[in-house]
Amino acid sequence: MGELDPTFIQELEHRPKPVVIEAQGIPEIDISAFVTSSPTNPNAQGIRDLVDQIRDACKDWGFFQVINHGVPIETREKVFSASKRFFDQSVEEKRKVKRDEVNPLGYYDTEHTKNVRDWKEVFDFVVDVPTMIPASHESDNDETTELHNQWPHHPSDLRDACEEYVKDLQKLSYKLLELISLSLNLPANRLKPFFKDPTTFVRLNHYPPCLAPDLALGVGRHKDAGALTILAQDDVGGLEVKRKTDGEWIFVKPTPNAFIVNVGDIIQVWSNDAYESVEHRVRLNSTRERFSIPFFMNPAHYTVVEPLAELTNKQNPAKYKGYNWGKFFATRKYSNFKKLEVENIQIYHFKKPEEQRIDDVVSRVANVVI
């Protein structure tokens, strides 16, 4: 990634501003009280305060940072070190584990976001092996396929470092899921059954220095399609979040050993828009490379994503039609390798028009009367 190819250049309105606005409002939340307790035997007042903080963060920002989360710093440092050694290799060596349409896991360096190429290279792997997903995005094809990780020979410790890391991240992800469930006034374990056979995956990101960081982005503006994203980033930083109040792009300054958490589209739908999946992007650095590791927590492929019944009523009818997560996921994955005869799928494609929501309420009332 030497000279800036035109395929990397963002449209004028989407280029990063030269002046960086640092986040003052993205909450930093100490979750130690919940990590060391359980929903059945919680530190009552401490947990209530923590749940309130999570609720406010999800409503106001869609993002928050967690500290005292229980993930050992040594585990995190190992995976960052191994990730750097992998990306330091030649392109030829890295492409020995290049992902493709048959196996969309492994190394990739030509990803696009909204039809503009991202200034980055990645390595993807799933948490559960094998992970089952639909074999096709076509609705009339019920076949499934298995995803298997492809690990490089060098560095030899990459696999061990990644597998050790995800064990700790899985524990953290379920704790966060419980907190979000409680923040929606649901039982702590309400969402856990959706993750019996998860399609969760992890990405190692490398953003090389860019000669023109005012023209390109490491990742263009986007929202995360899954349930939760838990991000570890190095001290360079680059994540920008679109502030809900005014649409400004806010730089999230790295906090040592913290994780940045954001709710994805699935939680937006489950919560019936009580929480919103927020746009974010990655700005580049002209002199320093950057590494980050997002953990994408996703449900089983057979999950039908729709507003939770407990969060809908006559005054607040379901705002989305249900959709199959596996087909949604497959459409996103397979569209990386060939142009599909469908628009890049988004949750707004499943949004119910206002008149349909009213009809749903009328129908429900009529059924009760009958």
Tens digit of each residue's pLDDT (9 = 90 or more) over 48-76 = 999 999 999 999 999 999 999 999 999 99
Higher pLDDT: 322 or 43? It is 322
- Helix (H) or strand (E) segment spanning residue 166: helix 158-183
* CB-based contacts of 160, cutoff 8 Å, min separation 6: none
Average pLDDT over residues 90-119: 93
Q: What mean pLDDT is reported for the chain? A: 90
Rounded average pLDDT over 180-192 = 97
pLDDT greater than 90 at residue 243: yes
Token representation of residue 215? 């023209």
**Dihedral angle sign, alpha carbons of residues 36, 166, 29, 299:** negative
Residues 6+ apart with CB under 8 A from 25: 60, 61, 243, 250
25 pLDDT band, cuts 50/70/90, is: confident
Share of the chain above pLDDT 90, in %: 76
Max intra-chain CA distance, the chain: 70
What is the per-residue pLDDT for 310? Answer: 97
Q: Kind of pairing, strands 201-207 and 63-67?
A: unpaired
Contacts of 281 (CB under 8 A, 6+ apart): 16, 217, 218, 219, 220, 221, 222, 239, 240, 249
List, for residues 344-368, the tens digit of each pLDDT value.
Answer: 668 888 898 875 554 554 344 333 3
Count helices and strands (H / E) in the chain.
8, 18
pLDDT for residue 364: 41
pLDDT value of position 101: 78
* Helix, strand, coil distribution of the chain in percent, nearest 5: 30, 20, 45
Q: pLDDT band at residue 274, thresholds of 50, 70 and 90?
A: very high
Contact yes or no for 324/302 (Cβ under 8 A): yes
Token pair, residue 14, equals: 């989407």
Report which residue type is found at 309: A
The whole-number average pLDDT for the span 181-198 is: 97
| Cα distance between the two ends of the chain | 67
Q: Are 147 and 104 in contact (CB under 8 A)?
A: yes
Specify burial of residue 4 (Cβ count, 10 A radius: 0-12, 13-18, 19+): middle
Please give the pLDDT value at position 19.
Answer: 80
269 beta partners: none
Q: Cβ of 143: how many Cβ atoms within 10 Å?
A: 8
CA distance 137 to 144: 10
Residue 38 binned pLDDT confidence (cut-offs 50, 70, 90): low
**Per-residue pLDDT reduced to its tens digit, 289-346:** 999 999 999 999 999 999 999 999 999 999 999 999 999 988 876 655 444 444 466 8
Q: What is the pLDDT of residue 60?
A: 94
The pLDDT value given to residue 362: 39
> CA–CA separation, 294 vs 35, rounded Å?
20
Task: Tell me the pLDDT tens digit for each residue of 193-232.
Answer: 999 999 999 999 999 999 999 999 999 999 999 999 999 9
